Amino acid sequence: MDFTDYDAECRVLSAMMHSEIACIEAIDLLHEDEFSDYLNRQVFLLMQSLYVRGIRPTLVEIFKEGHTLGFLTKTKDIESIKYIAEHYISDQNIKYWIQKVKQANKAREAQNLLRKYNATLNDGKLNIQQFITEASSDFFALAMDAGSEKIDTPQEVADLGIKLVTERVERYRKMAEECRIQGQVPMEGVITGLPTLDRMTLGMKPGDLVILGAQTGHGKTAFAMNVAKAACVDTKNNILYINTEMSKEQIARRWGAILSDVALYQIQSGSLTNEQKETVVQAYNRLRKSGFYPCSIPNLTPQKLDVMARKAKIQRNIKLLILDYVGRMEKVQKGMDEWQVLEQIVKSIKLLAQNLGIACLVLVQLTPTGELQGAKRMENECDLMLKMIPVEKDEHRKKIEQKLKKHFEEFNYRIFVQKARDAESGVSIPLVFEKPKQQIREAQEEGTGYEDIGTVVDM
Q: Return the higher-pLDDT residue of 249 and 376.
A: 249
Which sign does the torsion angle of CA 271, 275, 280, 285 carry? positive
Beta bridge partners of 204: 190
Coil, helix or strand at residue 113: helix
Domain extents in the chain:
6-144, 154-186, 195-452
The predicted pLDDT at position 348 comes to 85
Q: Give the Å distances, CA to CA, from 233 to 30, 285, 289, 290, 363.
A: 35, 11, 8, 5, 20
CB-CB contact of 20 with 56 (8 Å): yes
Q: Give the Å distances, CA to CA, from 12 to 64, 98, 452.
A: 20, 6, 72
Helix axes 220-228, 248-260, angle to 10 degrees: 70
Q: What is the mean pLDDT of residues 198-226?
A: 91
pLDDT tens digits, 76-111: 999 999 988 887 777 678 889 999 999 998 888 888
- Please give the Cα distance from 72 to 58 (Å, whole number): 15
The predicted pLDDT at position 148 comes to 47
pLDDT tens digits, 324-366: 877 766 655 556 666 677 777 888 889 889 989 999 999 988 8
- Please give the Cα distance from 79 to 61 (Å, whole number): 15
CB-CB contact of 281 with 267 (8 Å): no
DSSP 233: I
pLDDT, the chain, mean: 84
Tell me if the pTM is above 0.75: no
CB-CB contact of 73 with 79 (8 Å): no
pLDDT tens digits, 238-291: 999 999 888 889 999 999 999 999 999 999 888 889 999 999 999 999 999 999
Question: Could you tell me which CATH number the domain at 6-144 has?
Answer: 1.10.860.10
The predicted pLDDT at position 110 comes to 86
- Please give the Cα distance from 83 to 62 (Å, whole number): 13
DSSP string, 153-179: PHHHHHHHHHHHHHHHHHHHHHHHHHH
What is the CATH T-level fold of the domain 195-452, as seen in this structure?
A: Rossmann fold (3.40.50)
CB-CB contact of 25 with 7 (8 Å): no
- Please give the Cα distance from 10 to 16 (Å, whole number): 10
Per-residue confidence at 178, pLDDT binned at 50, 70, 90? low
- Please give the Cα distance from 14 to 47 (Å, whole number): 11
CB-CB contact of 8 with 37 (8 Å): no
- Please give the Cα distance from 4 to 9 (Å, whole number): 9
- Please give the Cα distance from 203 to 359 (Å, whole number): 10
